[in-house]
């Protein structure tokens, strides 16, 4: 009980401190009109949740559907203002559903991702959200093959619940500052999972998902986001989510490639065909919240408590990962943050990261980022050619790579790279 009281006090203090910081930074948020409307009579509701939704005026039939789950102390309206999902729905042509917790269920408005009666298939809050999905598909004539779920914190953990208990319903999910499925079955265990380092075997984590339903694949694609300095939900939970879903997908725990977007890290796990199954973002310097870009790049949402300007729009990135831009309404593509490194797949599936400090490399990086999907589906490439182009664009001595033998799979030759780097640094003669 003493540990429980300490955890609870810490949790409530961190929530209050985050809201106080947001208020001091921007003042009290102005009351804004909401774009959401409440839908009632959506089916059985054993979890006692409310349903809010938004759909563009001229939503085409068979459009995608995104289920968005708010965090503790938040409401559907607040989360929509912060993340900008309904605004993006206007651009891309999809419907959004916001399940909302009620204080009668949880005084902090947290979804009950840690209570067995609410996280089992066919029961509690998980069943209520499933009913909302079916009601929204019928109401908006949505494509049931393109249903996705995302959420923050307790909402992220609840997204884990939905992906595990109804994997046949969701094509993909995005978990922001959340926790893996099955890591807690009561409030005490929930606090322990949030505040202490947890490390479970990948097989055990995957078994929790497999035991949650009779489904045996195909499995949803997963996007994981976590602030590197998160004090409320330890970043190790993001790693647990990754291990859980790499095991479920039956792929290596090591990523297929890695890249830096600004100073943030993105890892990707791909299948044998190069299709991304899992991605994970570690947001440098960020605390607990949703990463936003409100001043540069792809602007979306608005800052506030747990909505943090990190120079990267998680809403836009998640939408692209879900391929929502492939819906009938064309997505206006704003300038995305440019990677300051170039990603190069090697024959071993790892990645060589080449620094790109000179301005000339940025245009090359933009080209490569724009061709991301092509890179994923057109392996192998010659990494040495990419490295040589990067050195040339930066105005550096170009490595002299040996000619590859016909039929030999592409691989990185480190010797010429080291020689060129030493030459550029003036440590060896020309």
For 293-322, write each residue's pLDDT tens digit: 987 767 888 999 999 999 999 999 999 999
| pLDDT value for 416 | 79
Report which secondary-structure segment, H or E, holds 378: none
**Helices (runs of H) and strands (runs of E) counted in the chain:** 13, 14
Fill in the DSSP letter of residue 379: -
Query: What is the Cα–Cα distance from 118 to 115, expressed in whole angstroms?
Result: 5
Q: What CA–CA distances, in Å, run from 189 to 155, 196, 227, 409? A: 17, 10, 22, 49
Query: What is the Cα–Cα distance from 147 to 63, expressed in whole angstroms?
Result: 9
153 is catalytic: yes
Q: Give the chain's radius of gyration (CA, Å).
A: 23
Fill in the DSSP letter of residue 282: E
Active-site annotation holder among 153, 256, 270, 314:
153
Query: What is the Cα–Cα distance from 423 to 287, expressed in whole angstroms?
Result: 41
**Residue ranges of the chain whose pLDDT lies below 50:** 27-28, 328-342, 344, 346-380
- Four-residue CA torsion sign, 75, 289, 35, 56: negative
| pLDDT value for 348 | 41
Query: What is the Cα–Cα distance from 420 to 430, expressed in whole angstroms?
Result: 10
**Residue 171 burial by Cβ neighbours in a 10 Å radius (0-12, 13-18, 19+):** buried
**In sequence order, what are the beta bridge partners of 172?**
148, 221
Query: What is the Cα–Cα distance from 417 to 423, expressed in whole angstroms?
Result: 10
Query: What is the Cα–Cα distance from 29 to 22, expressed in whole angstroms?
Result: 9
Residues 6+ apart with CB under 8 A from 322: 64, 66, 146, 148, 171, 172, 174, 221, 223
Query: What is the Cα–Cα distance from 206 to 246, expressed in whole angstroms?
Result: 8
Classify 167 as helix, strand or coil. Answer: coil
Query: Global pTM?
Result: 0.76
Q: Are 241 and 177 in contact (CB under 8 A)?
A: no
**Tokens 């986001």, residue located:** 225
């Amino acid at each position: 009980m003493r540990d429980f009281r300490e955890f609870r006090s810490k949790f409530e203090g961190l929530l209050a401190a985050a809201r106080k910081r947001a208020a001091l930074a921007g003042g009290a948020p102005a009351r804004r009109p909401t774009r959401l409307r409440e839908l009632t009579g959506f089916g059985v509701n054993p979890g006692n949740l409310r349903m809010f939704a938004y759909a563009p005026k001229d939503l085409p039939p068979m459009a995608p559907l995104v289920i968005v789950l708010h965090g503790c102390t938040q409401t559907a309206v607040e989360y929509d203002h912060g993340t900008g999902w309904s605004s993006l729905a206007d651009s891309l042509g999809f419907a959004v559903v916001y399940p909302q917790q009620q204080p009668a269920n949880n005084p902090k408005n947290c979804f009950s991702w840690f209570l067995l009666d609410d996280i089992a298939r066919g029961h509690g809050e998980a069943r209520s959200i499933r009913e909302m999905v079916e009601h929204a598909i019928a109401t908006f004539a949505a494509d049931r093959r393109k249903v996705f779920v995302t959420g923050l914190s307790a909402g992220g953990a609840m997204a884990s619940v939905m992906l595990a208990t109804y994997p046949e319903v969701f094509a993909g999910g995005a978990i922001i500052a959340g926790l893996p499925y099955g890591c807690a079955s009561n409030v005490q265990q929930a606090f322990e999972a949030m505040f202490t380092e947890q490390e479970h075997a990948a097989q055990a984590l995957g078994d929790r998902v497999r035991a949650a339903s009779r489904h045996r694949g195909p499995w949803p694609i997963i996007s994981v986001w976590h602030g590197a300095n998160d004090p409320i939900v330890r970043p190790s939970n993001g790693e647990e989510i990754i291990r859980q879903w790499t095991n479920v997908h039956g792929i290596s725990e090591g990523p297929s490639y890695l890249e830096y977007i600004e100073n943030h890290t993105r890892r990707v796990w791909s299948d044998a065909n190069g299709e991304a199954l899992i991605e994970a973002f570690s947001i440098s310097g960020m605390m607990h919240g949703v990463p936003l870009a409100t001043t540069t790049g792809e602007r979306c949402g608005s800052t506030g408590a747990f909505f943090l300007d990190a120079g990267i729009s998680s809403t836009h990135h998640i939408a692209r990962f879900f391929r929502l831009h492939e819906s009938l309404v064309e997505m206006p593509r704003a300038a995305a943050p440019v990677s300051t490194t170039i990603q190069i797949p090697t024959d071993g599936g790892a990645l060589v990261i080449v620094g790109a400090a000179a301005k000339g490399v940025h245009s090359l990086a933009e080209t490569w980022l724009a061709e991301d999907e092509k890179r994923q589906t057109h392996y192998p490439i010659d990494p040495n050619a990419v490295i040589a182009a990067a050195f040339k664009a930066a105005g550096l001595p170009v490595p002299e790579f040996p000619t590859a033998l016909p039929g030999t799979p592409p691989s990185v030759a480190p010797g010429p790279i080291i020689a060129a780097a030493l030459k550029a640094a003036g440590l060896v003669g020309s």
